[in-house]
Amino acid sequence: FGATHTHASIQDAIAALESTTWNRGFDKVIMTCGVGNGDVLGEAFWLGGKRSKIVVTNIHPVSEASIAIPAVFLTVFEKQLIGSLFGSGNPRKDIPRLL
């Protein structure tokens, strides 16, 4: 169906979590906040429910070496943390196909 809700901040998304997902968590969380922050990424991880996909499109500083997420939740809740650069596309191949 595509995106049904968007939120300007993690706090807005947390506030909407209970009423929009019956407190189960979002199916997809897409981080698009420009320059990323590991703490914010850790918070975004909690927004996803069981079998959710958390997609990171923002760029993080090279000096940022770690993020704080409990590894057990990747297995127990089957969450996926996915990085995506340019929509995971290949502009040289994809743009001519679109035109």
Res 93 pLDDT > 80: yes
Which segments within 34-90 are labelled E, that is strand? 48-56, 80-83
In a domain, 5, yes or no: no
Domain harbouring 71, CATH code? 3.40.50.720
The predicted-structure confidence for 20-51, as pLDDT tens digits, reads as follows 888 899 999 998 888 877 788 888 888 999 99
Computed over every residue of the chain, the mean pLDDT equals 87
Domain count along the chain: 1
Closest C-alpha among 47, 51, 38, 44 to residue 80: 51
Q: Quick one: pLDDT at residue 35?
A: 82
**Quick one: tokens of 48?**
């996803």
> Is 3 part of a structural domain of the chain?
no
4 part of a folded domain: no
State phi, psi for 51 to the nearest 5 degrees. Answer: 60, 25
Q: Which residue has the tokens 């502009």?
A: 91
pTM for the full predicted model: 0.78
Domain containing residue 52: 10-98
What is the band of 5 on the pLDDT scale with cuts at 50, 70, 90?
Answer: confident
Q: Which residue has the tokens 């743009």?
A: 95
